[in-house]
Amino acid sequence: MGLTSQSLEYTVIVLALVCVAATVWLWPRLSRQGVRPVLGRLGAIVMTQVSIVCALALAVNASFEFYGSWDELLGNNDKAPASVSQGGEGQYASVGNAKSELVQAAGPQGLDRVTGLPQGPADKVGKVESVRIVGRRTRAINPAFVYLPPQYFQSQFRRQRFPVMVVISGYPGGIMNLAQHLQIPQNAGRLIADGKMQPTVIVMLRPTIAPPRDTECVDVPDGPQAETFFAKDLPDAMKSAYRVGHDPSAWGAFGYSSGGTCSLQLAMRNPQAYTSAVSLSGDYAIQDDLTTGSLFGSGAAGAQREREHDLLWRLENLPAPQVSALVASSRKGEPDYGETMKFIHAAKEPMKVDSIILPEGSHQFSTWLREIVPALEWQSQQLTFPQDVESIPVKSKPGSEGPKAPAAPASSNGTADRKRVAAERSPG
């Protein structure tokens, strides 16, 4: 049974209940004096406590996804990429390109616990794949879900590469939060079907590449290279396995909480990889804490690295990147509201900033659920599609021009008028 599987969680919960019941039933018999009754009482207490702790630990891990597999828990991670073969017909086992070493088919990773996922022919409803992303440079291995829209499987789009949203969860949450609580693939599927969002490949990941440490999308000196993973390894891996755009204009980062912080950092520091970012309740600077350890190192070099991850400092002291950003906060209830307004007003050409400012909200899923749909629509308008038409020979009758590529949605070039993304919107 997988570490995040429901069957394991339910089995351990039942075992814990059995241990409690057995302890209550046996306790009168163990109340006598003597070595054996004392050992029996100690054994009953230990078994009961261990079973309860294991049940709670599995439930917490399934929710926050500190570890996605037994190997990851035991530290038996792969040291190098491995070849991947097509994984059959199952919902969770197939990968877009069996030749890729960098996107590996994985087990459910909790995807079997998510409700509302596409059910039916992929060319009608789309598909969600459970994979592992392998970093060519960093050697990091990160679990991921990949949403493929119905158009990805339709013959008229077979020559097209699709735009990509890299959606990053908060810390310590994992990809399950993106699929189950925020319903990223479910919302995207409905928006695409309604014509409010262009067909887009969405890859869902957690922000850390070295759990349980919070790496905050930073290249740590002599440590995990999280920024390199997201800015270089991830795009390379996706391009090796899926028909996705090769130009940065087809790539956008999207996240909430720590994932929102990562999204802004990735776009502003790596505009050659991402040209748009969505940050829901993200921060604008990265600082060390108990979960991160030392991210920047010591001395003057470490202080400079920390300053360069302060986005307000970057806007004041460095040329603004040519990217678009959507930031979200609440006037009441969100601690980052003041910094969000400073960021909006500090932005300068050629950077563009839009915002979703709620009258009231807090740092939790109920707030982000209000922002998800308009944020998905907004980022879709920033991404170019179709892009990088593949050179696939097409046989045609004499005198025929052959099939034409499908037309792009009117807003796909990112220059059309944007829809209103909130009841109140601050000027960008």
Per the CB < 8 A criterion, the answer to whether 354 and 364 are in contact is no
Cα angle 197-203-208, degrees, rounded to a multiple of 5: 135
Q: Please report the pLDDT score of residue 22 as a whole number.
A: 86
From residue 101, how far is each of 28, 131, 163, 227 by CA, in Å? 60, 12, 22, 21
Backbone angles phi, psi at 367, to 5 degrees: -75, -45
Which of 8-20 are b and which e, b meaning 16 or more Cβ less than 10 Å from the residue's Cβ? Answer: bbeebbebbeebe
Task: Categorise residue 174: left if φ over 0, alpha if ψ from -120 to 50, beta otherwise.
Answer: beta
What's residue 113's pLDDT? 87
What's the whole-model pTM score? 0.74
> Tens place of pLDDT for every residue, the chain, 428 residues?
666 666 787 788 888 899 898 888 888 878 788 888 888 888 888 988 998 988 888 777 665 545 555 655 665 544 433 333 222 333 333 455 444 789 999 988 989 889 999 999 999 999 999 999 999 999 999 999 999 999 999 999 999 999 999 999 999 888 999 999 999 999 999 999 999 999 999 999 999 999 999 999 999 999 999 999 999 999 999 999 999 999 999 999 999 999 999 999 999 999 999 999 999 999 999 999 999 999 999 999 999 999 999 999 999 999 999 999 999 999 999 999 999 999 999 999 999 999 999 999 989 999 999 999 999 999 999 999 876 555 444 444 444 333 333 433 333 334 333 333 333 334 33
The amino acid that residue 252 corresponds to is G
